[in-house]
Amino acid sequence: MDLRFMADEPSAVERAVIARLIDPVESRNGQVVRGGHAARGHRHLLLPALAAVQSELGWVSRGALNEICRRLLVPPAEAYGVASFYALISTDPRPAEVTHVCDDIACRQVGGLDLLSQPSGGEVVTTPCLGQCDRRPAMFVQRAGGQDEVLVSGPPATVHAGPLLRRVGKVDPSSLADFRKQGGFEGLRRAQDIGAEAVVAEVKKAALKGRGGAAFPTGVKWEAVANEPAPRYLVCNADESEPGTFKDRVVMEGDPFAVIEAITIAAFATGCEKAYIYVRGEYPLATSRITAAMAASREAGLLGELEIEVFRGQGAYICGEETALFNSIEGFRGEPRQKPPFPAQAGLFGRPTVINNVETLINIPEIVLGGGDAYASVGTPDSTGTRLFCLSGDLARPGTYEIEMGRTLGDLVELAGGFAGEPKAILLGGAAGFFVSSDYLSMPLTFEDARARGVTLGSGVVMAFNHDRDMHDIVRRVARFFRDESCGQCVPCRVGTVRIEEAVARARSAPIDRPLIADLDRAMKDASICGLGHTAASVVQSAMAMGLI
């Protein structure tokens, strides 16, 4: 490999920050001594190294980038491509404090944009949804050399608990002893008693489906990975970035040991030697609590031989797509991969990989303790167990609600105190979902009923809009979200998301171009690698069907 480094040198502080993360590399007359294969084998440290410099100094200079590249033997052009991919990393000088004000569909309804005009000691910018829709409006503050922080202005959110959320608000999230007093790690003990194959069998009996939106059978995925040769990896996808979604944050902040226990059971059942928890970068509290819970569990000897690493994302919605997440961990741009091969055969670092989101995983201890048959008796045959829903917008009591699958959308709205004002539209599934009318209140919240009516439950978003809301503005913001968050790898998605946003913008003063939207939607569905392109026009199409734009 012909590596051509820049002439820029890092400052002493930058060099020290990088050295703390990457093993020191000896050099003689400016030449790297460590073998190239060994250095390139540490490419997965690229994003953490960039993030460490960003966190300490507020931006990544050319000198710091050069130093990272020399140590990891990564071409500077590739490293710059990675650094510039993420919203939370800056390659230009910035103030020590940067405030990201959410201007997405939930916060903009309640004056979130007004926060842009408030005095600040640093730079103020807008950002997509921060996952705080239940406590809107929200800001995320990056502080160089200090602690990042999320600030919210809304009232405390509601948590309506079932078996999965029963400890949230009742357990001390920093106390392993408190967690164990309330039944924590009993599921792990039971799993070890019955054995790995039996755990997988119980998960299959439970008919648990993925809660991230794809609804793939979890037991089938686990069995496929368990039958592949070692080494195997497990990834907890906690990069919750779908606008309107915040349930995984509530779990990680309120019951972090539950996530660690679930990951440990899953790794035991599938024979995974190492696990990664990929946490959204805008979730600093969740990151710190998950990290502390992992450390306490390891110190208590509860993890066995399992190694768990908390990996903090750096602001890219696309990294919620499983293969883009793999690329991000490996030190590349977070761009989705072609499938097949599927993660069960060739996932992280090319090895068999289990990947589930937080909500899916925290079902596992309940299944192991109660049995798969008992779990499957709740809900419907196609949609078993309970489900977490994120309720926000024009509802009396926004929050996270756990209900049995099969209950209706109307039941869910009633639990949240009903609508605040006369409902005009309800967004189901998030930005990648659909607008529906109040006619859908009788729809059972199951995968099969959603499919039958041409919609999706997605990531569990239920966001209400009353007649006072500017729906054109809301729809255009969703279109802009996809325009900005497309990774640009697929031409139909890269161009199509821009053209859709332009068409929606023109619809403010003229009829929307329906044939153009239909053609763009079809092209993106046919030719995009990942789900972003497949769903980027869904909200716009449903808004047109309802006459909202």
Helices (H), 23-75: 36-40, 46-57, 62-72
Angstrom distance (rounded) from CA 322 to CA 353 = 10
Query: How many residues in total does the chain contain?
Result: 549
Radius of gyration in angstroms for the set of CA atoms belonging to the chain, rounded to a whole number: 23
Residue 246 has pLDDT above 60, yes or no: yes
Q: What is the 3-state secondary structure (H, E, C) of 508-538?
A: CCCCCCHHHHHHHHHHHHHHCCCHHHHHCCH
What's the pLDDT score for residue 208? Answer: 98
Closest CA to 54 of 86, 78, 76, 81: 86
Q: Comparing 3 with 497, which gets the higher pLDDT?
A: 497
pLDDT value, residue 213: 84
User: N- to C-terminal Cα distance for the chain?
Assistant: 53
Determine the average pLDDT of the residues in 139-144. 96
Q: Are 83 and 60 in contact (CB under 8 A)?
A: yes
Write down the pLDDT at residue 109.
Answer: 86
- Ramachandran region, residue 344 (left: φ > 0; alpha: ψ -120 to 50; beta: rest): alpha
**Which of 6-15, 32-41, 226-235 shows the lowest per-residue confidence on average (mean pLDDT)?**
32-41
C-alpha 227/C-alpha 246 separation (Å) is 34
Beta bridge partners of 102: 127
Residue-wise DSSP of 337-353: PPSSSPTTTS-GGGS-E
List pLDDT tens digits, range 407-443: 999 999 999 999 999 999 999 999 999 999 999 999 9
More confident residue, 117 or 77: 77
Residue 160 confidence (pLDDT): 97
Q: Which of 88, 37, 47 is nearest to 68 (CA)?
A: 47
Q: What percent of the chain clears pLDDT 90, i.e. is strictly above it?
A: 91
150 - beta bridge partners? 140
**Average pLDDT score over the chain:** 94
Q: How far is CA 457 from the centre of its chain?
A: 16
Q: Indicate the pLDDT class of residue 25, thresholds 50, 70 and 90.
A: very low
List, for residues 32-75, the tens digit of each pLDDT value. Answer: 444 444 555 899 999 999 999 999 999 999 999 999 999 999 99
Over the stretch 358-397, which tens digit does the pLDDT of each residue have?
999 999 999 999 999 999 999 999 999 999 999 999 999 9
- What is the rounded average pLDDT of the residues 193-218? 96
Task: Please provide residue 2's backbone torsions phi and psi, each rounded to the nearest 5 degrees.
Answer: -90, 100
pLDDT of residue 1: 54
Residue 30 has pLDDT above 70, yes or no: no
Average pLDDT over residues 254-277: 98
Q: Prior bond to 231 cis, omega within 30?
A: yes
Do the Cβ atoms of 422 and 466 come closer than 8 Å? yes
Given a cut of 80, whether residue 505 has pLDDT beyond it is yes
- Count other Cβ atoms within 10 Å, centred on residue 450: 23
Band of the pLDDT at 26, cuts 50, 70, 90? Answer: very low
Q: Give dist(CA 285, CA 67) in Å, integer.
A: 30
Whether the per-residue pLDDT at 254 is higher than 50: the answer is: yes
Reported as a pLDDT band with limits 50, 70 and 90, residue 214 is confident
- Whole-angstrom Cα distance, residue 333 to residue 506? 33
- Amino acid residing at 322: E
Task: State how far the alpha carbon of 360 is from the alpha carbons of 247, 384, 385, in Å.
Answer: 11, 12, 11
Mean pLDDT of 134-146: 96
Of the given ranges (113-122, 151-160, 193-202, 397-406), which has the lowest mean pLDDT? 113-122
Tell me which residue of 511, 499, 487 sits closest to 537, measured CA to CA.
499
Over range 81-90, report the average pLDDT.
98
Main-chain dihedrals φ then ψ at residue 405, nearest 5 degrees: -65, 140
Do residues 286 and 168 touch, judged by C-beta distance below 8 A? no
Please tell me which residue, 274 or 35, carries the higher pLDDT value: 274
Residue ranges and CATH numbers for the domains of the chain are 12-83 (no CATH), 97-152 (3.40.30.10), 159-376 (3.40.50.11540), 386-466 (3.10.20.600), 471-545 (1.20.1440.230)
Please report, for the chain, how many H helices and E strands are present, in that order: 23, 16
Q: Helix 491-506 to helix 514-527 angle, to the nearest 10 degrees?
A: 160
Task: Kindly compute the dihedral angle of the four CA atoms of residues 70, 71, 72, 77, in this order, to the nearest 10 degrees.
Answer: -30
